[in-house]
Protein backbone atom coordinates (compact mmCIF):
# COMPACT_ATOMS: atom_id res chain seq x y z
CA UNK A 1 0.00 0.00 0.00
CA UNK A 2 2.10 2.87 -1.30
CA UNK A 3 1.31 6.55 -1.38
CA UNK A 4 0.60 8.47 -4.57
CA UNK A 5 0.43 12.16 -5.38
CA UNK A 6 -3.10 13.56 -5.35
CA UNK A 7 -2.35 17.26 -5.91
CA UNK A 8 0.16 20.03 -5.31
CA UNK A 9 -1.19 23.06 -3.47
CA UNK A 10 0.80 26.32 -3.14
CA UNK A 11 -0.40 27.39 0.30
CA UNK A 12 0.26 25.36 3.45
CA UNK A 13 -3.08 26.47 4.91
CA UNK A 14 -4.95 25.39 1.76
CA UNK A 15 -3.04 22.10 1.77
CA UNK A 16 -4.18 21.38 5.33
CA UNK A 17 -7.77 22.33 4.45
CA UNK A 18 -7.70 19.98 1.46
CA UNK A 19 -6.19 17.20 3.55
CA UNK A 20 -8.88 17.70 6.20
CA UNK A 21 -11.58 17.44 3.55
CA UNK A 22 -10.06 14.21 2.27
CA UNK A 23 -9.74 12.76 5.76
CA UNK A 24 -13.35 13.59 6.55
CA UNK A 25 -14.29 11.67 3.39
CA UNK A 26 -12.44 8.61 4.72
CA UNK A 27 -9.22 8.97 2.72
CA UNK A 28 -5.97 8.73 4.66
CA UNK A 29 -4.37 11.84 3.13
CA UNK A 30 -1.21 13.55 4.31
CA UNK A 31 0.53 16.86 3.61
CA UNK A 32 4.13 16.32 2.57
CA UNK A 33 6.85 19.00 2.82
CA UNK A 34 4.92 20.92 5.51
CA UNK A 35 7.83 21.36 7.95
CA UNK A 36 10.33 22.36 5.28
CA UNK A 37 7.77 24.51 3.52
CA UNK A 38 7.11 26.66 6.56
CA UNK A 39 10.69 27.87 6.36
CA UNK A 40 11.29 27.77 2.61
CA UNK A 41 7.90 28.64 1.08
CA UNK A 42 9.39 30.07 -2.16
CA UNK A 43 11.27 26.82 -2.74
CA UNK A 44 8.11 24.76 -2.24
CA UNK A 45 6.15 27.07 -4.56
CA UNK A 46 8.82 26.79 -7.24
CA UNK A 47 8.61 23.00 -6.95
CA UNK A 48 4.87 23.12 -7.51
CA UNK A 49 3.50 23.42 -3.99
CA UNK A 50 2.91 21.21 -1.00
CA UNK A 51 2.24 17.60 -1.93
CA UNK A 52 -1.03 15.98 -0.88
CA UNK A 53 -0.43 12.24 -0.74
CA UNK A 54 -2.92 9.41 -0.31
CA UNK A 55 -2.92 5.62 -0.70
CA UNK A 56 -2.52 4.74 -4.38
CA UNK A 57 -5.88 2.96 -4.56
CA UNK A 58 -7.69 6.06 -3.25
CA UNK A 59 -5.97 8.63 -5.47
CA UNK A 60 -8.72 8.91 -8.12
CA UNK A 61 -11.41 9.33 -5.47
CA UNK A 62 -9.29 11.93 -3.65
CA UNK A 63 -8.84 13.96 -6.84
CA UNK A 64 -12.60 13.94 -7.43
CA UNK A 65 -13.22 15.16 -3.87
CA UNK A 66 -10.71 18.00 -4.29
CA UNK A 67 -12.26 18.87 -7.64
CA UNK A 68 -15.68 19.11 -5.98
CA UNK A 69 -14.21 21.13 -3.11
CA UNK A 70 -12.65 23.58 -5.55
CA UNK A 71 -15.97 23.89 -7.42
CA UNK A 72 -17.74 24.99 -4.23
CA UNK A 73 -19.27 28.44 -3.93
CA UNK A 74 -16.79 31.26 -4.27
CA UNK A 75 -13.82 29.05 -5.15
CA UNK A 76 -13.92 29.25 -8.96
CA UNK A 77 -13.99 26.54 -11.58
CA UNK A 78 -12.18 23.26 -10.98
CA UNK A 79 -9.39 22.20 -13.29
CA UNK A 80 -8.72 18.60 -14.28
CA UNK A 81 -5.16 18.10 -13.08
CA UNK A 82 -4.25 20.77 -10.55
CA UNK A 83 -6.99 23.08 -9.30
CA UNK A 84 -4.48 25.37 -7.60
CA UNK A 85 -2.06 25.80 -10.52
CA UNK A 86 -3.41 29.27 -11.37
CA UNK A 87 -2.57 30.39 -7.84
CA UNK A 88 0.99 29.11 -8.26
CA UNK A 89 1.38 31.01 -11.53
CA UNK A 90 0.13 34.23 -9.90
CA UNK A 91 2.48 33.95 -6.93
CA UNK A 92 5.41 33.20 -9.24
CA UNK A 93 4.60 36.24 -11.38
CA UNK A 94 4.33 38.44 -8.28
CA UNK A 95 7.72 37.21 -7.04
CA UNK A 96 9.25 37.99 -10.44
CA UNK A 97 7.83 41.52 -10.40
CA UNK A 98 9.14 42.10 -6.87
CA UNK A 99 12.58 40.80 -7.84
CA UNK A 100 12.66 43.10 -10.87
CA UNK A 101 11.68 46.06 -8.69
CA UNK A 102 14.35 45.22 -6.14
CA UNK A 103 16.99 44.86 -8.84
CA UNK A 104 15.97 48.19 -10.38
CA UNK A 105 16.11 49.91 -6.99
CA UNK A 106 19.61 48.57 -6.27
CA UNK A 107 20.88 49.66 -9.69
CA UNK A 108 19.29 53.11 -9.31
CA UNK A 109 20.78 53.54 -5.84
CA UNK A 110 24.21 52.52 -7.07
CA UNK A 111 23.93 54.99 -9.94
CA UNK A 112 22.93 57.81 -7.57
CA UNK A 113 25.87 57.09 -5.27
CA UNK A 114 28.24 56.89 -8.25
CA UNK A 115 27.03 60.28 -9.54
CA UNK A 116 27.28 61.89 -6.09
CA UNK A 117 30.77 60.50 -5.63
CA UNK A 118 31.83 61.74 -9.07
CA UNK A 119 30.49 65.22 -8.23
CA UNK A 120 32.32 65.27 -4.92
CA UNK A 121 35.70 64.80 -6.61
Q: Cα separation of 104 and 108, whole Å? A: 6
Taking 70 as the threshold, does the pLDDT of residue 91 lie above it? no
- Look at residue 29 in the predicted model and tell me its pLDDT: 94
Of 87 and 43, more confident: 43
Q: Give the global pTM.
A: 0.58
Domain with 15 in it: 3-120
Q: Which of 14, 15, 41, 49 is CA-nearest to residue 30?
A: 15
Sorting pLDDT into bands at 50, 70 and 90, what band is 3? very high
Taking 70 as the threshold, does the pLDDT of residue 76 lie above it? no
Sorting pLDDT into bands at 50, 70 and 90, what band is 92? low
- Look at residue 109 in the predicted model and tell me its pLDDT: 93
Number of structural domains, the chain? Answer: 1
Taking 90 as the threshold, does the pLDDT of residue 111 lie above it? yes
Element containing residue 44 per DSSP (H, E): helix 41-46
Amino acid sequence: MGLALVARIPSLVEAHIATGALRSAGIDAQVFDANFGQVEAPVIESLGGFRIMAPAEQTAEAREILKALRAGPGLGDPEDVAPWSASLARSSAQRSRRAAWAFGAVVALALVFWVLRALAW
